[in-house]
Amino acid sequence: MEHSSFVTVGGRRLEYRLYPEHQLHRPTLVFLHEGLGSVAMWRDFPARVAAATGCRTLVYSRYGYGQSDVLEGPFGVRYMHDEALLALPELLHKLEIERPVLVGHSDGGSIALIHAGAGKWRVSGLILMAPHVFVEDISIESIAKARNAYLTTDLPKKLARYHRNADKTFWGWNDIWLHPDFRAWNIEEYLPNIACPVLAIQGTDDEYGTMAQIHAIAARVPGTEILELADCRHSPHRDQPQITLEAMVRFISSLE
Protein backbone atom coordinates (compact mmCIF):
# COMPACT_ATOMS: atom_id res chain seq x y z
CA MET A 1 0.00 0.00 0.00
CA GLU A 2 1.29 3.45 -0.91
CA HIS A 3 1.92 5.90 1.90
CA SER A 4 1.65 9.67 1.81
CA SER A 5 4.20 12.21 2.97
CA PHE A 6 3.42 15.65 4.37
CA VAL A 7 4.68 19.18 3.74
CA THR A 8 3.71 22.46 5.40
CA VAL A 9 2.39 25.13 3.02
CA GLY A 10 0.88 28.38 4.22
CA GLY A 11 1.08 27.08 7.78
CA ARG A 12 -1.03 24.02 6.89
CA ARG A 13 -0.01 20.39 6.62
CA LEU A 14 -0.64 18.96 3.16
CA GLU A 15 -0.64 15.32 2.11
CA TYR A 16 1.31 14.35 -1.00
CA ARG A 17 2.81 11.45 -2.95
CA LEU A 18 5.78 11.79 -5.26
CA TYR A 19 6.53 9.16 -7.89
CA PRO A 20 10.19 9.29 -9.03
CA GLU A 21 11.10 9.75 -12.66
CA HIS A 22 12.44 6.79 -14.60
CA GLN A 23 13.30 8.66 -17.78
CA LEU A 24 15.67 11.61 -17.91
CA HIS A 25 14.84 15.08 -19.20
CA ARG A 26 11.10 14.76 -18.69
CA PRO A 27 8.97 17.43 -16.99
CA THR A 28 7.47 16.86 -13.57
CA LEU A 29 3.71 16.27 -13.61
CA VAL A 30 1.63 17.91 -10.88
CA PHE A 31 -1.89 16.55 -10.39
CA LEU A 32 -4.53 19.03 -9.18
CA HIS A 33 -7.71 17.33 -8.00
CA GLU A 34 -11.39 18.18 -8.37
CA GLY A 35 -13.64 19.97 -5.89
CA LEU A 36 -14.22 16.83 -3.81
CA GLY A 37 -10.96 15.08 -4.76
CA SER A 38 -7.84 14.01 -2.91
CA VAL A 39 -4.69 11.93 -3.34
CA ALA A 40 -6.68 8.73 -2.75
CA MET A 41 -9.57 9.80 -4.99
CA TRP A 42 -7.25 9.70 -8.03
CA ARG A 43 -6.81 5.97 -7.30
CA ASP A 44 -4.10 4.45 -9.52
CA PHE A 45 -4.36 6.90 -12.41
CA PRO A 46 -1.33 9.11 -11.50
CA ALA A 47 0.83 6.00 -11.03
CA ARG A 48 -0.26 4.74 -14.45
CA VAL A 49 0.60 8.09 -16.04
CA ALA A 50 3.96 8.16 -14.27
CA ALA A 51 4.76 4.64 -15.51
CA ALA A 52 3.67 5.42 -19.09
CA THR A 53 5.54 8.72 -19.38
CA GLY A 54 8.60 8.17 -17.19
CA CYS A 55 7.89 11.53 -15.53
CA ARG A 56 8.40 12.44 -11.91
CA THR A 57 4.83 12.87 -10.69
CA LEU A 58 3.40 14.80 -7.73
CA VAL A 59 -0.09 14.20 -6.38
CA TYR A 60 -1.31 16.20 -3.39
CA SER A 61 -4.45 16.97 -1.41
CA ARG A 62 -5.24 20.65 -1.06
CA TYR A 63 -6.00 22.21 2.30
CA GLY A 64 -9.35 20.85 3.51
CA TYR A 65 -9.09 17.63 1.48
CA GLY A 66 -7.86 14.07 1.88
CA GLN A 67 -5.48 13.67 4.81
CA SER A 68 -4.37 17.30 4.68
CA ASP A 69 -5.37 19.69 7.47
CA VAL A 70 -9.14 19.92 7.94
CA LEU A 71 -10.92 23.01 6.64
CA GLU A 72 -11.40 25.47 9.51
CA GLY A 73 -13.69 28.03 7.88
CA PRO A 74 -15.68 28.55 4.68
CA PHE A 75 -14.04 29.00 1.31
CA GLY A 76 -14.29 32.43 -0.29
CA VAL A 77 -15.18 33.12 -3.93
CA ARG A 78 -11.45 33.36 -4.73
CA TYR A 79 -10.47 30.04 -3.15
CA MET A 80 -9.14 28.70 -6.46
CA HIS A 81 -7.17 31.93 -6.99
CA ASP A 82 -5.64 31.52 -3.52
CA GLU A 83 -4.58 27.97 -4.36
CA ALA A 84 -3.14 28.92 -7.77
CA LEU A 85 -1.35 32.12 -6.73
CA LEU A 86 -0.28 31.38 -3.14
CA ALA A 87 -0.35 27.72 -2.09
CA LEU A 88 0.76 26.04 -5.33
CA PRO A 89 3.85 28.25 -5.86
CA GLU A 90 4.98 27.63 -2.27
CA LEU A 91 4.42 23.88 -2.64
CA LEU A 92 6.42 23.73 -5.88
CA HIS A 93 9.23 25.74 -4.31
CA LYS A 94 9.42 23.50 -1.23
CA LEU A 95 9.48 20.33 -3.33
CA GLU A 96 11.97 21.87 -5.80
CA ILE A 97 9.73 21.49 -8.86
CA GLU A 98 10.38 23.80 -11.80
CA ARG A 99 8.43 24.17 -15.05
CA PRO A 100 5.83 21.48 -14.29
CA VAL A 101 3.10 20.11 -16.47
CA LEU A 102 -0.06 20.82 -14.49
CA VAL A 103 -2.68 18.07 -14.75
CA GLY A 104 -5.93 19.56 -13.47
CA HIS A 105 -9.37 18.01 -13.09
CA SER A 106 -12.43 20.30 -12.70
CA ASP A 107 -11.49 22.81 -9.94
CA GLY A 108 -7.91 21.61 -10.42
CA GLY A 109 -8.09 22.55 -14.10
CA SER A 110 -9.24 26.04 -13.16
CA ILE A 111 -6.38 26.34 -10.66
CA ALA A 112 -3.93 25.28 -13.39
CA LEU A 113 -5.28 27.96 -15.75
CA ILE A 114 -5.02 30.72 -13.14
CA HIS A 115 -1.48 29.67 -12.19
CA ALA A 116 -0.27 29.54 -15.79
CA GLY A 117 -2.14 32.68 -16.82
CA ALA A 118 -0.78 34.78 -13.96
CA GLY A 119 2.54 34.86 -15.80
CA LYS A 120 4.70 34.70 -12.66
CA TRP A 121 5.90 31.11 -13.03
CA ARG A 122 7.13 29.01 -15.95
CA VAL A 123 4.86 26.11 -16.84
CA SER A 124 5.75 23.48 -19.45
CA GLY A 125 2.17 22.50 -20.30
CA LEU A 126 -1.40 22.17 -19.10
CA ILE A 127 -3.56 19.05 -19.24
CA LEU A 128 -7.10 20.06 -18.33
CA MET A 129 -9.92 17.60 -17.67
CA ALA A 130 -13.38 19.17 -17.43
CA PRO A 131 -12.05 22.59 -16.35
CA HIS A 132 -14.28 25.55 -15.49
CA VAL A 133 -13.61 29.10 -16.67
CA PHE A 134 -17.08 30.49 -15.83
CA VAL A 135 -20.19 29.27 -14.05
CA GLU A 136 -22.91 27.54 -16.07
CA ASP A 137 -26.47 26.70 -15.04
CA ILE A 138 -25.71 23.00 -15.47
CA SER A 139 -22.91 23.33 -12.89
CA ILE A 140 -25.19 24.89 -10.29
CA GLU A 141 -27.98 22.41 -10.95
CA SER A 142 -25.68 19.42 -10.49
CA ILE A 143 -24.05 20.87 -7.39
CA ALA A 144 -27.54 21.42 -5.91
CA LYS A 145 -28.30 17.75 -6.68
CA ALA A 146 -25.08 16.76 -4.95
CA ARG A 147 -26.23 18.69 -1.88
CA ASN A 148 -29.47 16.71 -1.83
CA ALA A 149 -27.59 13.44 -2.31
CA TYR A 150 -25.29 14.27 0.60
CA LEU A 151 -28.32 14.82 2.83
CA THR A 152 -30.35 11.79 1.72
CA THR A 153 -27.96 9.01 0.57
CA ASP A 154 -24.81 7.22 1.72
CA LEU A 155 -22.60 9.81 -0.03
CA PRO A 156 -21.14 10.99 3.33
CA LYS A 157 -19.99 7.43 4.05
CA LYS A 158 -18.41 7.14 0.58
CA LEU A 159 -16.57 10.45 0.89
CA ALA A 160 -15.32 9.50 4.37
CA ARG A 161 -13.07 6.93 2.69
CA TYR A 162 -11.14 9.76 1.04
CA HIS A 163 -11.19 12.66 3.53
CA ARG A 164 -10.34 13.19 7.20
CA ASN A 165 -13.54 15.17 7.69
CA ALA A 166 -16.00 14.50 4.86
CA ASP A 167 -18.60 16.93 6.24
CA LYS A 168 -16.25 19.92 6.23
CA THR A 169 -14.82 18.96 2.84
CA PHE A 170 -18.23 18.57 1.22
CA TRP A 171 -19.86 21.68 2.65
CA GLY A 172 -16.77 23.81 2.03
CA TRP A 173 -17.04 23.01 -1.68
CA ASN A 174 -20.83 22.90 -1.95
CA ASP A 175 -21.59 26.06 0.00
CA ILE A 176 -19.30 28.33 -2.01
CA TRP A 177 -20.45 27.04 -5.41
CA LEU A 178 -24.08 27.61 -4.43
CA HIS A 179 -23.42 31.03 -2.89
CA PRO A 180 -25.05 33.83 -4.94
CA ASP A 181 -21.74 35.71 -5.16
CA PHE A 182 -20.14 32.77 -6.96
CA ARG A 183 -22.33 33.12 -10.04
CA ALA A 184 -20.08 35.95 -11.23
CA TRP A 185 -16.88 33.85 -10.86
CA ASN A 186 -14.95 33.97 -14.13
CA ILE A 187 -11.26 33.38 -14.96
CA GLU A 188 -11.28 34.14 -18.70
CA GLU A 189 -9.02 37.15 -18.06
CA TYR A 190 -6.12 34.75 -17.35
CA LEU A 191 -6.40 32.83 -20.62
CA PRO A 192 -4.69 35.24 -23.10
CA ASN A 193 -1.49 35.20 -21.03
CA ILE A 194 -1.06 31.41 -21.14
CA ALA A 195 2.06 30.75 -23.20
CA CYS A 196 2.47 26.96 -22.84
CA PRO A 197 0.84 24.11 -24.81
CA VAL A 198 -2.62 23.07 -23.62
CA LEU A 199 -4.56 19.80 -23.90
CA ALA A 200 -8.22 20.25 -22.91
CA ILE A 201 -10.33 17.12 -22.39
CA GLN A 202 -14.11 17.23 -22.00
CA GLY A 203 -16.78 14.53 -21.80
CA THR A 204 -19.90 15.15 -23.86
CA ASP A 205 -22.04 13.81 -20.99
CA ASP A 206 -20.40 15.95 -18.30
CA GLU A 207 -23.04 16.80 -15.71
CA TYR A 208 -21.03 19.75 -14.38
CA GLY A 209 -20.16 21.66 -17.54
CA THR A 210 -20.49 21.85 -21.33
CA MET A 211 -18.11 22.06 -24.28
CA ALA A 212 -18.46 25.85 -23.97
CA GLN A 213 -15.81 25.72 -21.24
CA ILE A 214 -12.98 24.32 -23.36
CA HIS A 215 -14.13 26.22 -26.45
CA ALA A 216 -13.66 29.40 -24.40
CA ILE A 217 -10.13 28.27 -23.57
CA ALA A 218 -9.31 27.40 -27.20
CA ALA A 219 -10.63 30.78 -28.38
CA ARG A 220 -8.17 32.62 -26.13
CA VAL A 221 -5.19 30.23 -26.04
CA PRO A 222 -3.94 29.61 -29.60
CA GLY A 223 -2.99 26.04 -30.39
CA THR A 224 -5.09 24.46 -27.66
CA GLU A 225 -5.66 20.79 -28.43
CA ILE A 226 -9.24 19.68 -27.71
CA LEU A 227 -10.22 16.09 -26.97
CA GLU A 228 -13.98 15.58 -26.90
CA LEU A 229 -14.98 12.23 -25.38
CA ALA A 230 -18.30 10.46 -25.96
CA ASP A 231 -19.75 8.25 -23.22
CA CYS A 232 -17.88 10.35 -20.69
CA ARG A 233 -19.19 12.35 -17.76
CA HIS A 234 -17.21 14.65 -15.46
CA SER A 235 -14.15 12.44 -14.93
CA PRO A 236 -12.38 11.45 -18.18
CA HIS A 237 -9.67 9.57 -16.25
CA ARG A 238 -12.35 7.31 -14.75
CA ASP A 239 -14.93 7.14 -17.57
CA GLN A 240 -12.48 6.86 -20.50
CA PRO A 241 -9.15 6.06 -18.81
CA GLN A 242 -7.31 4.46 -21.71
CA ILE A 243 -8.12 7.18 -24.25
CA THR A 244 -7.29 9.85 -21.68
CA LEU A 245 -4.00 8.18 -20.75
CA GLU A 246 -2.94 7.77 -24.40
CA ALA A 247 -3.73 11.42 -25.16
CA MET A 248 -1.71 12.54 -22.14
CA VAL A 249 1.28 10.40 -23.13
CA ARG A 250 1.23 11.85 -26.67
CA PHE A 251 0.92 15.40 -25.39
CA ILE A 252 3.74 15.04 -22.85
CA SER A 253 6.02 13.46 -25.48
CA SER A 254 5.34 16.42 -27.80
CA LEU A 255 6.77 18.82 -25.18
CA GLU A 256 10.30 17.45 -25.51
Confidence at 2, pLDDT banded by 50, 70, 90: confident
Question: What does the mean pLDDT of the chain come to?
Answer: 97
Q: What's the whole-number mean pLDDT along residues 102-125? A: 98
pLDDT tens, 205-250?
A: 999 999 999 999 999 999 999 999 999 999 999 999 999 999 999 9
Whole-number Cα distances in Å, 231 to 45, 111, 129, 204: 19, 26, 15, 7
Residue 23 above 90 pLDDT?
no
Q: Measuring CA to CA, which residue among 228, 164, 231, 222 is closest to residue 197?
A: 222
pLDDT recorded at residue 95: 97
pLDDT recorded at residue 1: 54
Statement: 5-254 belongs to CATH 3.10.20.30? no
Residue 169's Cβ-count burial label (10 Å; 0-12, 13-18, 19+) is buried
pLDDT tens, 129-147?
A: 999 999 999 999 999 999 9
Confidence at 256, pLDDT banded by 50, 70, 90: confident
> Hey, where are the domains in the chain?
5-254
Cα 90 to its chain centre, rounded Å, is 17
In angstroms and rounded to an integer, the radius of gyration of the C-alpha atoms of the chain is 17
Would you say 42 and 33 are in contact if contact means Cβ atoms under 8 Å apart?
Answer: yes
pLDDT recorded at residue 232: 98
pLDDT recorded at residue 13: 98
Q: What's the whole-number mean pLDDT along residues 87-107? A: 98
pLDDT recorded at residue 25: 87
- C-alpha to C-alpha distance for 170 and 182, rounded to whole angstroms: 16
- C-alpha to C-alpha distance for 5 and 236, rounded to whole angstroms: 27
Residue 193 above 70 pLDDT?
yes
5-9 vs 12-19, strand pairing mode: antiparallel
pLDDT tens, 139-177?
A: 999 999 999 999 999 999 999 999 999 999 999 999 999
Residue type at position 130: A
pLDDT recorded at residue 101: 98
pLDDT recorded at residue 186: 98
The model scores a pTM over 0.75: yes
pLDDT recorded at residue 174: 98
- C-alpha to C-alpha distance for 237 and 11, rounded to whole angstroms: 32
- C-alpha to C-alpha distance for 202 and 214, rounded to whole angstroms: 7
